[in-house]
Amino acid sequence: MRYFLVALLLVIFGYALALVLQNPAELPVDLLFTQVPAMRLGLLLLLTLVLGVVLGLLVGVQIFRVFQNAWEIKRLRKDIDHLRKEQIQSAQLAAAEAAASVRHEKTVMDVYAQDKKL
């Protein structure tokens, strides 16, 4: 992977260098806040390319973060539903055990009462 990235960077650098060398014409550029009287067309193309890539990466990271948060929320909701079902099952089991215990105590009390009558 590292070699692939190095090769990709070299290709991009070579492309940028070729862009600057192939477009030597100078032209005036208005940069909204300032004006450049003479800038090489290749350099201008390179700057706009870099600016576009950087802005694209920033927007892509933000969009990925939004999707990542949505996936995390969905996963947490599933966990909450699963825990609620477990809690309901535990409560039902505890209620059944309590009912069985009450029945057992009543039966023991009935038997004990019958033993006293004898």
Whether the pLDDT of residue 94 is over 80: the answer is yes
Query: In the prediction, which pLDDT does 46 show?
Result: 82
pLDDT bucket at 104, cuts 50 / 70 / 90: low
Tell me what the mean pLDDT of segment 36-48 comes to. Answer: 84
Whether the pLDDT of residue 16 is over 60: the answer is yes
Query: In the prediction, which pLDDT does 19 show?
Result: 79
Tell me what the mean pLDDT of segment 106-117 comes to. Answer: 57
In the chain, domain spans = 2-117
Structure tokens at 53: 């890539």
Helices and strands in the chain: count of H runs, count of E runs: 2, 2
Tell me what the mean pLDDT of segment 49-72 comes to. Answer: 87
Contacts of 45 (CB under 8 A, 6+ apart): 19, 23
